[in-house]
Chain A
Amino acid sequence: MTNGSLQHSISSWFPIPEVEELADSKEQHEINEISEENIEPAIPINSSLLEFSQEASQFLNITVQPEQLYDLMRLLKTNDQTHFDYLFCLSGVDFGEELGVVYHLESTIHRHMLVVKVKTSDRENPMLDSVCDIWYTAEFHEREVFDFFGIKFKNHPNLKRLFLTEDWDGFPLRKDYEDTINMIVK
């Protein structure tokens, strides 16, 4: 499926509630802000809680809120038209002010690819849903993300540090990590 049709079908799964019933009024702008959507209403196809983008990347990117992450992932895998059953890359990213995870998905039947990003602005105790019962490969990858970024995943069967020792202090791949002994900064 092309990116456009992917975007069309995925966005229909998460419509913004009550937006169709309201006229173009101030209340709509308020409701848009409450539902955490920050694209101007001038873009017609954006009637969903997800944020789509194709610039600066070779794949279709979806930015999703942490609350809808698990449902979106499950639908992406089980829906026959999208059928994203191959999670080939799960990376943690420190976006500067927020921490997040980037998922690269591929479908083994339709051979299309997709990128899903989720961000959380809580740097003290970031929590996200785990997808390891949808794709088994996520179990190890999420442990790695926890090890390096500190992002905890709910419902993960074995969330321990993977590479570093159990008593390591801090999360090395964050941008504000300081370690005068081990790091050489140019």
Chain B
Amino acid sequence: MDSTTKNSNFKTEEYQINMGPQHPATHGVLNLLLTIDGEIIKKVEPDLGYIHRSIEKMCERDSYQQIVHLTDRMDYLSSNINNEAVCLAVENALELEVPERVKVIRTIIGELTRISSHCLWWGVMGMDVGALSTFFYGFRDREMINDIFEETCGARLTMNYNVPGGLMLDIHPNFVKRVKKFVAHFKTKIPEYDRLLTQNVIFQKRTKGVGILTKEDAISFGASGPVARASGYSCDVRKYHPYSALDKVSFKESLKTEGDTFARYQVRIMELWESLSIIEQLIDNIPEGEHRVKTNAVIKLPKGEFYQKVETARGELGVYIISKGTKNPYRLKFRSPGFSNLSLLNHIAVGGKIGDLVAIMATIDLVIPDIDR
């Protein structure tokens, strides 16, 4: 709908507003400079750096065990998976073989983290489009996972349970029982989520056909994770470069082709089901063994370059280490999924309305500390 008339007596002016950095819809400290004409968005320019903590520079000074602690402040919603990324990079560089038990437990905890992140995402998605009650429903289920983590890993948000060489401590005796109870409980809740939001006509009208991302654009913008999979680009790192126990489980990759906001929403709901299925396949057969392999107290990676990819809840996280054989990395770069996903915001939000921008940002699922590092 072209709202600006071509009548030269009736000129409209574009104006700029700042959305953020403190704003209920931007999921963190992100400042968006919007150039708007009436209600139509002409340009979106993200203004980053409000939570930049120079993690990469700190990594050049810290030892590898300390670096693991820095990673879970990056994308704090999938903190376990971030820790796993660095631990895997270090273990692959040292050619250290971790026990099967460790791999299986790492995968279970990784998938629980993914479910917890998607629960929070779902709650916030509903809240952003206006259904405020969904926030509480999403958090109610997330609390159960947080309790499991608190018992086993010791913390609810920044776990640091993975260390180079294995896990910090063995799992709590209640772990298996509680996870099974959670899986049974959550399977009754996802249909409730569907009835509340997915099948709601107003929600569908807000999200269908909004913010379409084609497959070529998704690849060119470096999108990964559910954002890219909703456009038809099959890129699940768990399938193409499996790590830990992921090559032993069978799961479907959630793919959709429409590339609009509703497709991104549906991909994440499908991922919830897949994660539950992965946990079910692994939870009954955790092999016995050691929970940790001894490494030196001072870890020195051999000279060379190492790259490790993992699939966090937001997409593909990459850890790129250049080591000169000393106890600190020479250069450590985190390829964060949110950074590339944010760059496509301008491309898909232009031409839509402010309400569309909010819905699009909710489905791209940005966590700003992940972008700013």
Q: Known contacts A88-B316, A163-B372: does B222 contact A108 (CB below 8 Å)?
A: no
User: Which A residues lie within 8 Å of B235 (CB)?
Assistant: 108
Query: Quick check: B307 and A91 within 8 Å, CB to CB?
Result: no
Bound complex: CA of A106 vs CA of B282, how far in Å? 31
Is A86 a contact of B222 with CB atoms below 8 Å?
yes
CB nearest to B222 among chain A residues: A137
CB within 8 Å for A173 and B306 given contacts A137-B340, A137-B343:
no
Stretch of B198-206, B250-258, B286-294, B331-339 lying at the A interface = B331-339
Contacts of B56 in A (CB 8 A): 173
Which size class do A's interface residues fall under? 35 or more
Most buried by A among B61, B305, B372: B305
Query: Inside 8 A of B224's CB, which chain A residues have their CB?
Result: 88
Bound Cα distance A137, B306 (Å): 22
Chain B 297-314 interface 0/1 with A at a Cβ cutoff of 8 Å (1 = within): 000000111110000000
- Convert A61-94 into 0s and 1s, putting 1 for each residue whose CB lies closer than 8 angstroms to a CB of B: 1000000000000000000000001111101011
B320–A136 contact, CB under 8 A?
no
Task: State whether A165 and B49 are in contact (beta carbons under 8 Å apart), knowing that A91-B331, A104-B318 are contacts in the complex.
Answer: yes
Q: How far is the CA of A89 from the CA of B372 in the complex (A)?
A: 16
> Does A163 lie within 8 Å of B307, measured CB to CB?
no
Give the distance to chain B from A128, nearest Cβ to Cβ, in Å. 17
Across the interface, name the chain B residue whose C-beta is closest to A117: B305
Taking a contact as CB atoms under 8 Å apart, the answer to whether B54 and A172 are in contact is: yes
The answer to whether B219 and A85 have CB atoms under 8 Å apart is yes
B48 x A162 contact (CB < 8 A): yes
**B57's contact among A58, A88, A173, by CB below 8 Å, is which?**
A173
Which chain B positions have C-beta within 8 A of A58?
306-307
If A57-B304, A93-B322, A94-B331 touch, whether A87 touches B222 (CB-CB below 8 Å) is yes
Q: Could you tell me if B343 and A136 are in contact, using CB atoms closer than 8 angstroms?
A: yes
B contact residues vs A (CB 8 Å cutoff)? 48-49, 52, 54, 56-57, 61, 217, 219-222, 224, 233, 235, 240, 303-307, 316, 318, 320, 322, 331, 333, 335, 339-340, 342-344, 347, 372
Known: A108-B233, A136-B217, A173-B56. 15 other contacts (CB 8 A): A57-B304, A57-B305, A57-B306, A59-B307, A85-B219, A87-B222, A89-B318, A89-B335, A104-B307, A135-B222, A137-B220, A139-B343, A164-B52, A172-B57, A184-B61
